[in-house]
Structure 1
Amino acid sequence: MTYKNILSTHQNSITTITINRPKKLNALNRETIQELHNALEIAELDKRTKVIIITGSGEKAFVAGADISEFADFDVTEGTKLAAKGQALLFDFIENLSKPVIAAINGFALGGGLELALACHFRLASDNAKMGLPEVSLGVIPGYGGTQRLPQLIGKGRAMELIMSASMIDATTAEEYGLVNHVVYQEELIPLCQKIAAKILRNSSVAISSAIKAINANFNDGINGFEIEIKEFGNCFGTADFEEGTTAFLEKRKANFPGE
């Protein structure tokens, strides 16, 4: 598929999706959100893809926010629809993908950009990265899941301060807060993502999908995460991956998971 605002490449079971609007600091507009959805959907359905990495082009920004010009004149109804559609099409969609999605934050991740990173299953950052949710400085609040996912990761008090002050934090602080897992020099960012992806690739993709469901369930209102864990644990016993994994362990050899 041909894209205008993103690049999608596949190598060694890893699909890397790059937001490619460097002149706009990779800001998210509606077209880019749709293209990201399309590329992610293709990667989800592609049996060759086991891990997905999302990053931004250039050295300045992962995604420096949403394209404000697109919604500056919206009314209440239009604003509500904007958030609902965006969450369903991209942010919730990423969170619930069955394949691990790693955010490689290579610079500014602000507003919708940070919300994009928050929707990924975990995050790595370059040492020049800056992160924040500055929406209140525009008279609005984060609308793509930021008020929900940020407190889950860094705690209510820190999230309240960050959102209400519209402040940015650097990569070191983000790591201290638990917002990102690792901070490295920019040239080491993608290689480290690939190194972690390679570790993931050794394991059962079916079990990983079940783990994602179980972990996500703990953060969904009205759902008992322990019950989902029990269900997904039981389901694993009916898979070819479980048979191969346990057999390989007992035979003291490396497992060759079929992904079924």
Structure 2
Amino acid sequence: MTRHVSRRQFLAGLAYGSAAASLAGCDRLTQSAEVDAMLRIAERWTMTSQRLLLSHQPLAREFAESDLSPTFRANGTQMPDSEEYSQLLDGGFAGWRLQVDGLVQRPLRLSLAELKRFPPRTQITRHDCVEGWSAIGKWEGVALRHVLDVAGLLPDARYVVFHCADELERSLDGSGRYYESIDLLDALHPQTILAYGMNGTDLPVAHGAPLRLRVERQLGYKHAKYLMRIEVVATISHLWGGKGGFWEDRGYEWYAGI
């Protein structure tokens, strides 16, 4: 499988080790409006070409148990700095609920037990991080499309937004809280799952407990962790920086296809 890593992702990824370093790197990359415009054009071309190639919804490669990586690094936050999350963790996530709302016919509030009553899917796939490392892990969860089917998409639905518990920057307007978004083509893909298990056990905290997104045809920063809310929208331009994700608002590409 060929990985697509843009010049922006490569350079920004060098600074990904800490939020402050990453933000500084992204600031330097976006100081030139001309460079930013050129990169955005390249991103659109990449997305268009990959969408044409992937229009029949091919699967990402899946592996065998023997291929599992002995070590699987945790990307991004490893423990949300949130009093609400700490209380949920202390209670074994018994009080956690996944809110599903926006452009849906039937808003939902799902417990972990309710999610586990959906038809499960298990897949062994490779995680490709923008920092330059990869690892193979086994994920168990529910296909996102099953949840969206129960909620019922309204005609104007175009994107699915994932709101998370981790806040990487302190901000009054919520712009420092991690979020991500994908379009319906990826949301309805059979390998796009809401994962509650990893390598045969409950999802560890460092990997996004109690629930994380796995969108296997995109780079690691799209795989939002610590999910709290799924919002279905017609456009992503109204969300904080208007680029559709925490890192995208700071210079990363929205479409991170591999």
* TM-score clears 0.5: no
| TM bracket (short chain) | under 0.3
Q: State the TM-score, normalizing by the size of structure 2.
A: 0.26
Q: State the TM-score, normalizing by the size of structure 1.
A: 0.26
Higher normalized strand content (fraction of residues): 2
